[in-house]
Amino acid sequence: MKHFYFIWITMFVLLTHAGVSNAQQTPSESAAEKIKAIQIQYLSQKLNLTPEEAQKFWPVYNNYTHEVEQLIAERHQKRDQEKIATDNADDAARRNMDKELKYEKRMLDIKSRYSTEFQRVLPGRKAGMVFKSEREFRTIMVNHLNTQRMNRMGGGPRRRP
């Protein structure tokens, strides 16, 4: 439980810190770097990586995330291109379903390949926790960002008098 609070405090500080950023960076790049730093800390702590394990794990994990990000970017680019072209709705729906299944298969292929790689560089127990820990981190971040958005919009939790 102590680790959970530490992570929340770290996320809060990094996401709300209005420090000086590099003049070359856009705000979204700076936020992405902060989130990446928090994710690294979260995964390191959740997987309880030793220095030797971390040295082997992070290059493999970085390759994995790079491939996943490329696939996601490709998917978004194709979706944007398809929005422009309109034709028969039924045919478009069938094509979209086929494309979505191909995307899911490619994502599964990437995860399967890297599951083997993670098992090569980490003990089995830790390798088995990589994808789960990654999902947990995303869930925490989404919840945190949604809470921030609601608070900015004035829709935070209401208190009774």
The pLDDT score that the predictor gives to residue 80 is: 73
Q: Which pLDDT score is estimated for 62?
A: 96
Which one-letter DSSP state was computed for residue 23? Answer: T
Among residues 65, 22, 73, the alpha carbon closest in space to that of 40 is found at: 65
State residue 71's pLDDT score: 95
Give the C-alpha separation, 30 to 16, whole Å: 12
- What local confidence, expressed as pLDDT, does residue 161 receive? 52
- List per-residue pLDDT tens for the chain, 161 residues long: 555 545 545 555 444 444 444 445 677 778 889 989 999 999 999 999 999 999 999 999 999 999 999 999 998 888 777 766 556 777 778 888 888 899 999 999 999 999 999 999 999 999 999 999 999 999 999 999 899 889 888 765 555 55
- DSSP H or E segment with residue 142: helix 130-152
Compute the distance between CA of residue 10 and CA of residue 4 in angstroms, rounded to an integer: 10
Residue pair 145/12 in contact by the 8 Å Cβ criterion: no
Longest dimension (CA), the chain: 57
Q: Identify the pLDDT of residue 25.
A: 62
Q: Which of 51-59's residues contact partners 24+ apart within 8 Å by CB, and which partners? A: 53/121, 53/122, 53/123, 53/126, 56/121, 56/122, 57/118, 57/121, 57/122
State the pLDDT at residue 96.
83
CA 27 vs. chain centroid, Å, equals 18
Question: Distances in Å between the alpha carbon of 1 and those of 6, 7, 21, 46?
Answer: 9, 10, 32, 12
